[in-house]
Each structure stands twice: as C-alpha cells, then as structure tokens.
A and B are shown apart, each in its own frame.
Chain A
Amino acid sequence: MTVTVRFLLNGKQRIARAVEPTRTVLQHLRVHERALGTKEGCAEGDCGACTVALGRPNGEGGFDFRAVNSCILLTAEIDGCAITSVEGLADAEDRPHPAQAKLVEHHGSQCGYCTPGIAMSLFAHEREGRGGALDDIHQTLSGNLCRCTGYRPIIDAAKDMVACGRSVDFDARERQWREALDALIAEGAGDKAQIDIAGYEVPTELKDLDRLLAKHPEARLLAGGTDLGVAVAKRAENPGPLISLSRLNALKVIEEGEAGVVIGAGATYEKALPVLDRHFPAFADIVRRIGSRQVRNLATIGGNICNASPIGDSAPCLLALNAEVVLRSVEGRRMVPLDKFFIAYRKTALKPGEYLEAIHVPYMREGDVFRAYKLSKRYDQDISTVSAAFVLRMSDSKIAAARAAFGGMAATPARAVALEKALVGATLERSAELAAQLGRDFKPLSDFRGSATYRLAAGSGLVERLLAEVANKDVPTEVWAL
C-alpha cells in the first residue's frame, strides 16, 4: 500500500510516487531527494536537527510556514503543502536568508550539525512575523538542541534577524511558489483516487470519517502525529491502517461559545493559544511548555487527550476546568465529562468506531482562581514529572469549592478528591498540612523522571505554592518569575 504525494520542495514541484505511509519527511528528503542539509539527531522530535518549514497554503496567496520536525512527520501528510528546507533559504542570487547570515555573523555555529535546523526555526520565526521578545525567541529555539555553542550567539542572531525586518524577497518567492503549488494540485486532482487506498485515508467530511471508522474500527487516527510519528520513526513500529485528520477542517475549529470554549479535536496547540490566552491564561502558559514550537505546530489537544498518557499536560487543566469531551461515531454523539474519559493506564472511554470530536471547556465564574503548574527537569520541551491544575471558588476569602487535578501521580491524569475536600473551607494561607492531604489521593511510581517520594513532596509543594501565590502576590513563588 503506497500513496502519491504532491508537494513543493523549496519551490520545486514534486510528485513522490509509491510512498509508504510510514515514510517520514526526513527519510524522504535524505534518502529519496538526497537533500542532505536536513539532519537526524534523534528521530523522536526532541533535538530539532531535522527542522524544516511546513507551508500550508493561506488565504493571501502565500503560505503559513511553520517549523516542524521532519523526523516524525509522515510524507503522506505533506500532500498539497510546501516544504522549505535549509537548501531553499538562499535567494536567486544565492544570497543567504537573514536567518543564515545572522548565524554566521554572530558565530552561531561550531560543529554545525544543529545549524540547519536552527536556521529553519529562525526562518519560521521570521515568516510568522514574530518579534524580538526574549521569551518568544526561547520558544522558537526550545526544540533545537545545540551542544556546542551555549546558545548565546544563536539568541543574538535571532534578535538581530528580527531587527532586519521581514524578508521582502521571500514574500515574493512565496507568491511564485503558491502558483506552482496550485498548478501542481490542479494537475493532480485526477489522481486523488490513488490516495484513497485502504491503509491511508484522508477524509474531508466528518460523516466520511464516521463511516470509515465504523468499517475499520482498527484504524488509527492520525492528528498531529507527534505521538504516532515517534512510534514509527524511533521504534520502527508499523501502526497499521491510518486515517489522517489533516483535511477535516471541521475538527480544527475553535469556538468561543456562550457557555465556554469548544476546541475541535484537530486544533493544534499553536492555533489554540490565542483563545486559551483570553480565557484560561494558566492553561496557555502550560501549553507553551508542551514540547517545542515544532511540536506545538503539529500536535493537537485532542491527540494529547486521546493518547491518555498519565503525564499528558493538557489533562490536568482540562480536568480542573471541568471540561467535557464530545465523542462521535456513526451512531451519533455523546458527551462525557473528562474525568470519566480516562479509564485506566492509556485507556479511554472511546468505543470502537468512536472518535473525539471536540472538547467543551466551560468559562470560569467571575472571581474563580485558576492556576496550573508543570514540574520537569528542564523548563522547555520536557515531559512532566508532576503537573497540577487548580480551580478555586472563593467566598469571604475562604475557599468555597475546589477542583484539583494532577498528572504524573497515578496511572491516568486524575483529580485529587481528598485534597479538594480538604481545601474547602480553608483560608488562603500556605499550609504544609493541607498540602500533605495529597498523600491520601495518590501513590505515585518511581521512575527516571522522579522518585515516588519526590512526586508526592513536589506535588504537595505545588499545593503550597498555590496557596502562597494566591494569598500574596508580592512574594516570588517561582524561580521563573525572577
């Protein structure tokens, strides 16, 4: 079973035939295109050496270029897109893109192995029109490891690149490329049938997805593919038949409704961020620490929930916010509260043939306090050792109601019911005794991210932090605030 993929590579039309659905973009570039500037450093989305810019056609005659990890992105998924790799950055006269020129000027490369990936992340930063705020630059670089330089010159290069302004040359190139892509797609309209071979399906309507899943309940849904892609690339697993959600625009919608926000299961983190920032800023801050920008450009909140990892980072926030999930199949829809969705270790309430359509997150009430924390060995791009989210309803400076949810403390993300009870009626004061209630809720495991005792101590520490932080805004409660 293979597919035909039409895409642009650095502005050149490409028709890749006989592509196995498990072939990653990195493999395609290095093995089949012999485009060797893009490197492999880990094959699991964690080092950034393989970073390319994935351009989806936008409404302005160009592309939305985003940095992605080509090592975990399946080639089949770039059908109809433009890929820019490091070889495509220089202009027609072979002058380097500012991302490249500034890296040279600031001595941002030593061994050079990370450099193409870093150039691509900076390029995407420029294309997205991002500014020179240090936090934004750190986010842009969060998925690019460099073992040689210590990053300072790379950060300087990024700032300097931003100061140069937008690359007008690339704007012009985007328009030309868009014409080339549109022509390629038009020409390929006839061979769409080739894609619809059992084994890799790309439905465009939800009702088609309903039917497909009913017929092939064993098929795996492919959203951003940042979990699935790792299994394929790093562990050489064969995921079996795949149904790509990439063309289901209905799943990507984010609505700010009457009662709350409805997040389509296929919405990426980066797309969701502006809305989350408006309504659930603490959740947005957590999202900005999920993976790297490359990961967040592809990964979905829906995928995170369905992956049902005990350390999935959106779960504690959504649990604390009392979210509900919409599960859909040919038989219709059903709403399930999120705390009933996670059943056991990596098991969800999804039945065969059913999928996650959307997540309903009710707005908080005026005066509700919402806080979320993530603990990991490293601030950016690390999996949580412990994570926690709290929603407190206050009355007369006492806690009237509390929802508390944790990740990394049990086989699933879970609410801390005993702690919630203990919090009710408490005043906002740092209290180790109250925090220790967590021990009644959880018996965490020990692993390489942390021992059981650390998880419990640090989890309790987060409860203390919550109380201290809400009680007194003047005292620093996190090292990140300094």
Chain B
Amino acid sequence: MNVISTSSKDGLRAKGGVGQSIAHESANRHVRGSAIYVDDMPETEGLLHAWVILSDRAHAKITTLDLSAVKVAPGVVCVCTADDIPGANDVAPILSNEPLLAKNVVEYWGQAISIIAAETEAQARAAASLAVIEYENLPALLTIDAALEAKSLVIKPMVMVRGDVDGAFARVGHMLEGEVRAGGQDHFYLETHVAQAEPAEEDEMRVISSTQHPSEVQHIVCRLLGAPYAAITVEVRRMGGGFGGKESQASQIAGMAAVLARLSRRPVRLRLSRDVDMMMTGKRHDVLGRFKLGFDDTGRIEAADIVIAIRAGNVPDLSGPVLQRALCHVDNAYYLPNVRVNGYACKTHTVSNTAFRGFGGPQGMVVAEAMIAHVAAKLGKTLDEVRAVNYYGGEGRDTTPYGQRVTDNNMPRILKEVEESASIAARREANAAFNASSPIVKKGLALFPLKFGISFNMPTLNQAGALIHVYTDGSVHLNQGGTEMGQGLYLKVAQVVAESFQIDIEHVRVSSTRTDKVPNTSATAASAGSDLNGMAALAAAETIKARMRDVAAAKFGVAVDEVIFANGRIYGGQKSLSFAELAKCCWLERVSLSAAGFYKTPDIHFDAETCTGEPFYYFTYGVCAAEAAIDTLTGENRILRADIIEDVGASLNPVIDIGQIEGAFIQGMGWLTMEELWWDKDGRLKTHAPSTYKIPTSRDIPVDFRVKLLGDAPNAKPTIFRSKAIGEPPFMLALACFLALQDAVASVVGAEKALRLEAPATPEAILRALGRVE
C-alpha cells in the first residue's frame, strides 16, 4: 500500500490526525495516577505473590540446594526449581538452552535458581532467605578481555568484508592502530519487570506481562508449560518504560509467574524488586573495539581492519543480532572502501546482556568515532576535517560495507544547519580564549553526525498486524501488534486511524496489545513501531473505509470516488452524513465494520551469514553539537549546551518526536558520562540500585538544550505519511557529549593522549585520561 493523501474539506481537518502535536493518550491518567500498570491490577481472589532466589556466585557448581525450610515457611504455597518446570527449562528467544532456572551450575551472580509463591510478597521474600545453597566455585571469566583470551564466545564469530583490505593497506600513506572501550548500561525503566499469570481451564492461561514482545512471551510460556500457543493469551496495556530491557527479558519474569501459576493452580504475580531486577536481568553490552586503519594525508580512510567484541554474558539471548547491528553501524556516516570487521560476542560469567535502545548501533558508532578521532589526532587535524573527507557521497562513495546504497543523504544539509544555528565556529574561538585564561576548568566542543538504519536486520521481523472495529455509534476500537512503553506508539497509530477515517482522535480507543487479537507479532523495537504498526492499522482502516464508501455512494447516489471523508463527516454530492450515521447505515446494510490489516516492509533483504544485503528500508540522520566543561582537578564534568537537529521525515506528532529525542539523548548522555556498572573481582555487580547506579537527574541535562526537527524533509520512501522512525537514533547523538569531553581533555594533554578517555566519562575516567590517576 502507498501513502494516501490526507483529505480535508473547506480547510477543516479532524482533530488529532497525523502531523498534529497532541498529548500522549494516557497523559491525563499518568498525572492522576489512574493509569494502570501490571502491579496496579486488582488483586483477584487467591492471588499469590512470587519471589526469586538468586545465585551469589559468578560461576559455580551447586552442591547443595536445600529448600526444606523455604517450603514450610509461613504463607508459602509453591516452590519451584529447574526440575519442577512442566515443559522445557528454556527461555532462549532465538537459539536454545538458555535456562529459566539454573540447574546444577550457576553461570552468573544473580542467576535465578528457584522461585517461590506465597500468600504475600513479604512472606515469599522472607521464605527466600531460608534457602540453603552450597557451591563449589568454578573459574569465572568476567571481562571481554578474559573471554577473548580464552576464545569464549556464545555464538560463532561474525565477519563482514568489503573490498581488498590487505591490498589497500599496502598502498596507503599512513597507518595506525587503536582501541576504544565503552561500558554497559542498565535500562532503569522506572517500572521493574512484572507479570501476572492467571490459570484458566486445563492448559489455558492469561498472562499479563510488562513486555515489549507479547508474542515471544506467549511462545516461551508455552515452551515452559508444554502448551500450544493457542492456549495462552498474553496481554499488555502499557509498560513503565522498556528501552529494550523488556524485549527478550520479559519472558523470564512472565515465565516464572506462569510456571508457578501452573504448579499452584492459582493466579501468581511476580514483580521484581529493583535490586533483583538489576541483578537478574540483562543490560546493554559493553564493547571493546580494536582497529587498524590505513589513510591518506587528508585523513581519508582507505583500509580498515576492525574488531568489535561485545560482552554477551552467560547465554546468547539477542547478542547475535546486537552484534550484527554493531557491525552494520561501524561505518556510521562514513564510506569505508576496504573494510573487514570481525565481531565477537563474548561468553562471560556475568548476566546475559540484551537489547537496549540502539541495539548495537551505539557500540558500532563508538568504534566509528574512535577511528575518526584517532586519524585526526595522528594527522593533527580536527574531527570535522577528517569527517569531511570520509562522509558518504560523491562518485562511487555511497555504498555501505554490507552493500546497501545510501540514497537521500540528508547529512550535508543537517550539518550545515547545525553549524550555522549553533554558531560552531564562533564558539570554538570563544572556547579557545576561555581555555587560555582558565587553568582549572576547560571547555570542549564537538559535533556528532548520525546515520542510522531503520528496519530489523532480519527481514522476516518487519511485519505487523492490526485489528480495527468501527461500532455503530461511530467509535473506533483499535488494536495493533505494537506495545506502549511511553514512546507514544498508541497515540501515533490512533492518529493514523483518525486521519484515515477523518474523525477526531477522541473517537479512537486504543486497547491493550493482546496475542489473541493480533497474532504472531514482532517485538516493538528497532524504532520500527509506528512504521510497521501504523501501516498495518492504516491498511485495516482503509479496508473498512472502502466498504463504508460503497455504502455512502449508494446512499448519496454518487460515484464511489466522489465520496469524501472529511472532518468527521462523509460528503457526496449535496448530501452528508456523520461518521456515526454512516457506521449505523453500514450495519443496517449488513456490511462488516471490522477488519484486520497487515503490513510488511518492502524491498529489504539481508544475508546474515555474509553480512550483505539491503537490510534497511531507509536511513535516518541527525547531528548534535555539544559543549562540555571539565574540572582538571577533580574530573567533574558538565554538558553546557547541546544543539540537535534530527531528521524525522514528516513527523506524525512533533511533540512526541521531540520528547523521544530529548529522552533518548539524555539516556545516551547517561550511558557515556555517568552510568557505571561495577563488578567486584568475584563477579558481583555492586551497582544494582539507584543509590549506587546513577542515571541523569534534571540538573544533568545540558544547561542550554536546543532540539529541532529537520524541516520540510518527508521520507523519500513511502513510509506511514512519509514519517521516519525516532525511538533509537537520538540516543546516539549523545556521542557528541563524549567527544566534547574528549576535546576538553585534549586541550590539556593533547589530542593523542585524550584518546585514552573511556566511556562512561565519570570524574575518575576524566582524571585518568588527563593522566592524573594511574
């Protein structure tokens, strides 16, 4: 299907159609505390509460697992270990053998060993503390370096090659080798993982889960219970944040609740405490990049031999696709004519890392920007000078390493707009003057250009469904396969439907996402939520609209193409009906007012084995210019200003998109400047709560924060109303902050030594890069 033009009559448009800045569909409920999250659901008769017993070793054999005291503790109804799981003890989203509960061996500190259901949460928790578990320690690999050395990987290495790398190295004038590291990140959604399982007849069950991927929860619950998919319905109305953390990981929590519900035959709710959530569930992969570069005098890269190693943790989970996306973004906005990238997903005895906003993209770009920075430092050039000769564009310089052409490149335009609106040149001068007269506090400034591919790398996943009912009072019930985690997907899709029917958005009700209404869905991820589900909903709406149009044409006595839907009414000739009246007519005429819609992204293909193809339907672009200050005595730092222009195509809802940009950017800033996951030498995560793991607060945002959408830039591809995806790309714009901090460090120790800076750029990391801390 193609994009339809929006209709209007006499300049009037329905309220809340596409392109309008309207508030989140639940905003009023949010501020009143009446939005219902899983833990706020009524406590049904007999509801049990669950708790999880975690391992306190990184790698060990379980020699004793004595739960006798747990079983007889007050209020305890059900205690479950790996052996008690009715079906397969496996929650792997892609591969297999990823246990829900550890059996015999634990592979990370915080791994679930047993689950308990009791009458109250306090009882379940108290009982958990009575477990007697003894271990025999096994050697643990805790870091990427240790795993690489031991050749410990969760999946086979990945390679992406283009051109003649070795030949190119022989020809180039300059060579260098470099390395870069960036840490992991906890999602810190405000709502921790939670699920409720309600057993019904025989093997049937309803599972309410805070999940980005209801279909996967359905499949994994079925695997754990040994039930057919049709027996289990999974539902989610909203999440209190997801960010990728509730993509594959939610099935563990839902699976635990479901297993306990099956065993006890009672409804069970499991809500992880913050500490358990942070210990037990996966995070962003930390990354180590190593590269050898060949380049000319201008800094143009001719050859790149790159290694990207990410810490997968104890099992693969989604590490394969994450690594793939890292590989596919190690070019960022730059043309690498001869390039080889070796990717390793390292098996370590730490929690299995997972999806997180950007999904490997940020890790790839950290390496990309480090390469630019190394070349610049080596040649004594600025980042922008080196970038300028490496950007995509020009004769034969428009194909990515995986073989996709970069068309409709908005980068030159955005760069120019940012350079002008943020007065980059003048501010650089001002900063140099400031630094000359300020011995302790130093400023830095840097740009970061972003190119990000939109679509799931795996073509199959780029499909979506929706289900729409029009009722005889003209109200519309909308159900689609995407989930709402705060990003405004429900609203955007409702706007699409309101636009299609030309009715005010208040007549469109979005209901919770359910596997029995829209089946076989993909995760709400990869920024593709509104691209996919918006199109599916549009298809459903247009189907119903065509039927309604036929009825109206007959009623008005006009040709079908003379019927116009506009501003809540349907017109034909001199006559008109309200939307509700026409709906009623359709019913009287026995015309169906219900339809399912389906969409699959066209034109994409990808071979995961060879890392080649055209995996992305289109690219999004953005530029951030950030200014930072560091304290050379303490390493304290602050982001003083950020100017962002982001390409969102023709925005479906500008305020929602601005919100996504700001939120993602601050989250990215947290990742690169302050959020630090810290394990002790025995593999215990010591930062597993907000008291110890610090995400940005209001004061941490740039003192001067300017965010703009690129004007007049409809998507060249026929996406939903020519919009572009927004969820993930702006996260990476925060790399500008890191580079600005590096620039400030460089003003003291020089560009080459400033390359020592590691992310997160905590005060300690800054002092290290300055050489003030060994």
Contacts and interface: CB of A to CB of B under 8 A. Distances in A.
B208 to A, nearest CB: 15
A111 B191 contact: yes
A475 B29 contact: no
Contact of B691 (A44, A146, A476): A44
21 contacts: A42-B274, A43-B274, A105-B23, A109-B27, A110-B486, A111-B191, A111-B242, A112-B24, A112-B26, A150-B664, A150-B665, A151-B696, A153-B662, A378-B694, A378-B700, A458-B764, A464-B440, A479-B631, A479-B636, A479-B637, A482-B441
Contact of A42 (B37, B39, B640, B690): B690
Contacts of A151: 666, 696-698, 701
A457 to B, nearest CB: 5
Given A149-B659, A150-B665, A236-B122, A86 B695 contact: no
Nearest to A143: B697
Contacts of A90: 32
Interface in A98-148: 99-101, 103-105, 107-116, 119, 137-138, 141-142, 144-148
A111 B189 contact: yes
B641 to A, nearest CB: 10
Contacts of A105: 23
Interface in B690-724: 690-692, 694-701, 703, 705
Interface residues of A, number: 88
Contacts, number: 279
Contact of B440 (A42, A108, A152, A476): A476
A155 interface: yes
B40 A458 contact: no
A382 interface: yes
A141 B697 contact: yes
B690 A448 contact: no
B195 to A, nearest CB: 16
Interface string A371-405: 00001111111110100000000000000000000
B631 to A, nearest CB: 5
A306 B113 CA distance: 39
B441 A42 contact: no
Interface in B99-140: 122, 125-126, 129
Interface stretch (A33-41, A176-184, A245-253, A354-362): A33-41
A174 interface: no
Contact of B705 (A42, A112, A152, A234): A152
A103 B703 CA distance: 21
Interface in B669-702: 674, 676, 678, 686-687, 689-692, 694-701
A110 B762 contact: no
B241 interface: yes
B28 interface: yes
Given A107-B655, A112-B29, A112-B238, A49 B767 contact: no
B763 interface: yes
Given A42-B689, A150-B662, A482-B638, A111 B485 contact: yes
Residue from A46, A116, A461 with most neighbouring chain B CB atoms (10 Å): A461
B156 interface: no
Contacts of B701: 150-152
A115 B667 contact: no
A479 B23 contact: no
A363 interface: no
A482 B655 contact: no
Per CB-CB distance, the 10 closest pairs between chain A and chain B, nearest first, are A37-B33, A111-B486, A113-B240, A112-B30, A461-B633, A110-B486, A86-B33, A150-B662, A150-B666, A448-B678
A467 B637 CA distance: 20
Contact of A137 (B486, B695, B698): B698
A114 B655 CA distance: 19
A378 B242 CA distance: 23
B649 interface: no
B486 A112 contact: yes
Residue from B26, B35, B238, B699 with most neighbouring chain A CB atoms (10 Å): B699
Contacts of A476: 438, 440-441
Nearest to A111: B486
